[in-house]
């Protein structure tokens, strides 16, 4: 009995169609997506039907954690330094160039200004850990939040947009503090960041 001849198969697989598809996907992702900014606390924004997009530049974003801590973020490195300098001179704090530079390339900030120097002396990993526990004071005795917003407004001019990003579970009291601080500064127009949901608007619907 002759042995069954197993045909020697060519193991070569043509990767061309696969790489075609992958390049297509890659291009799609590169063109449509924007980079995630690391935030000190993760917030899940509430849903809304509003479809207005937030502008990409000239935004002061206010991040409010579920525990009510407030963090700020500002684009443009030079503006960040200018804002920091204003705050520092208001609170009589001397800053080194290194601290200024570190601040300008960081993402969200949220330290009470008194603790700023100690905070900047930490290394990056410690900073990330520490920042989660801090936040900008918004209470009436020492409202540094107002100071930051005011400084940002002075530096950025009237085109700056204020955007509030808060977690769905953030208690209203924390929001109220921020909103009334903004009202005190006569900042009456701002944006609430939400994620999209679909709802039918026909009166008989649902």
Residues engaged in binding another protein (CB under 8 A)? 12, 14-16, 18-19, 22-23, 25-26, 29-30, 32-36, 45-54, 64, 163, 165-176, 179-180, 182-184, 186, 188-196, 199, 201-203, 205-206
- Contacts of 190 by beta carbon, 8 Å cutoff, 6+ apart: 161, 162, 163, 164, 182
Q: What are the φ/ψ torsions at residue 98 (nearest 5 degrees)?
A: -65, -45
CB of 50 to another protein, least distance (A): 4
Q: Judged by CB, which is closer to another protein: 121, or 192? A: 192
Instruction: Give whichever of 123 and 206 is closer to another protein, judged by the CB atom.
Output: 206
Shortest Å distance, C-beta 111 to another protein: 23
For tokens 């969200």, name the residue: 108
Q: How far is the CB of 63 from another protein (least distance, A)?
A: 12
Question: What letter would DSSP give residue 186?
Answer: T
Evaluate whether 147 touches 87 at the Cβ level (below 8 Å): yes
Torsion angle of the four alpha carbons 83, 44, 119, 61, in this order, in degrees rounded to the nearest 10: 0
Q: Toward another protein, which CB reaches closer, 89 or 195?
A: 195
Of 141 and 173, the one with the shorter C-beta distance to another protein is 173
CB of 117: closest distance to another protein in angstroms?
Answer: 32
CB count within 10 Å of CB 146 equals 18
| Contact assessment for residue 130 and residue 116, using Cβ atoms and an 8 Å cutoff | no
Closest contact distance (angstroms) between CB of 18 and another protein is 6
Q: Which is nearer to another protein, 57 or 115 (CB)?
A: 57
What's the DSSP call for residue 9? -
Task: Report the 10 Å Cβ neighbour count for 164.
Answer: 20
DSSP code of residue 115: G
């Amino acid at each position: 009995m002759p042995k069954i001849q197993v045909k020697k198969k060519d193991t070569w697989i043509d990767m061309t169609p696969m790489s075609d598809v992958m390049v297509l996907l890659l291009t799609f992702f590169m063109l449509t997506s924007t980079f995630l900014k690391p935030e000190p606390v993760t917030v899940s924004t509430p849903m809304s039907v509003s479809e207005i997009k937030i502008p990409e530049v000239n935004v002061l974003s206010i991040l409010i954690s579920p525990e009510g801590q407030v963090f700020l973020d500002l684009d443009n490195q030079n503006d960040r330094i200018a804002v920091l300098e204003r705050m520092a001179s208001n609170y009589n704090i001397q800053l080194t160039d290194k601290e200024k530079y570190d601040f300008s390339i960081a993402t969200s900030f949220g330290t009470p200004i008194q603790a700023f120097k100690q905070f900047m002396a930490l290394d990056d990993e410690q900073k990330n850990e520490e920042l989660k526990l801090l936040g900008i004071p918004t209470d009436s005795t020492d409202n540094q939040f107002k100071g930051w917003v005011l400084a940002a407004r002075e530096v950025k001019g009237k085109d700056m947009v204020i955007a509030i990003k808060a977690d769905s579970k953030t208690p209203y009291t924390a929001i109220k503090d921020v909103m009334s601080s903004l009202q005190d500064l006569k900042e009456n127009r701002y944006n609430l960041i939400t994620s999209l949901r679909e709802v039918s608007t026909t009166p008989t619907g649902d």
